[in-house]
Structure 1
């Protein structure tokens, strides 16, 4: 198994916060789920036997209102098929781009008390993930 990445490190979060907070913020999300959710022992769902998919659905249910409240949305979502370049063991259960009007909006979401409740479901669900901040640019018909 590869190293697990579920939450940002302090260094990663400080780098994020050091970038322009006023520009639109698009977050590429690659998420691999656990077979069985791993809630903290004191959580009400710790012994419920939920799958990672069920716990991630709980995350969506509870985080969705916060995402909308800060002006965010899911810009694009797709189903993983295969990787053409990259580690052979990387496969993703959820692939999507979340759009926020600014990095300030993303920060408001992660600091929201309702999001703090929701993120426990994400942490229980996720085996590993990638969260990549991007700034939108003009689309076109050429690479680069």
Structure 2
């Protein structure tokens, strides 16, 4: 099974071609490594952290930047089971991050402090999905 940690060039090009001035929601599905895999020489490489612990460090170090650009979490949950989908599909955690617009997301990922923080995300994850949605009003129906 192919693991997805970072966007492919083609996917990121599509993301960049979409409007940058409208609100976006980013669905994040996460599967952690048993043990985080940091690059040699990284300060966290010898700490023996689990993937979950490394992702917590990513949240701690990237959180101020996320909030500064106007990001908020609108939902998060712990995986229980797949109802419709492949039997082998499992996740550890999921959340939806809201950004005031895609420009805010780009501002975040271009920030030098974020680029240092994202090493923790890469070290933490065995697999992930990051899916952009345009938010719509919620209500009683589908």
CA distance in 2, matches of 1:140, 1:69: 29
Per-residue deviation, residues 95-141 of structure 1 (Å, max 9, x unmatched): 10000000000000000111001100000000000000000112222
The gaps in structure 2 that reach 5 residues or longer are none
Distance of 1:142 and 1:45 partners within structure 2: 47
Which residue pairs with 1:122 in the alignment?
A: 121
Counterpart in 2 of 1:136? 135
In structure 1, the partner of 2:7 is 8
Structure 1 regions of 5+ residues with no counterpart?
none
* 1-structure distance, mates of 2:84, 2:76: 20
Aligned match of 1:84: 83
> 1:1-144 counterparts in 2 under 5 A?
2-143=1-142
Secondary structure of 2:73's counterpart equals strand
TM-score, structure 2 length as denominator? Answer: 0.97
CA RMSD of aligned residues (A): 0.8
| Runs of 4+ that moved beyond 3 A | none
Distance apart, 1:51 and its partner CA: 0.5
CA separation in 2, counterparts of 1:21 and 1:124?
A: 29
Report the Cα offset of residue 21 of structure 1.
0.6
- SS of alignment partner, residue 21 of structure 1: coil
- Give the C-alpha shift of residue 35 in structure 1: 0.2
Greater mean alpha carbon deviation, residues 16-25 or residues 82-91: 82-91
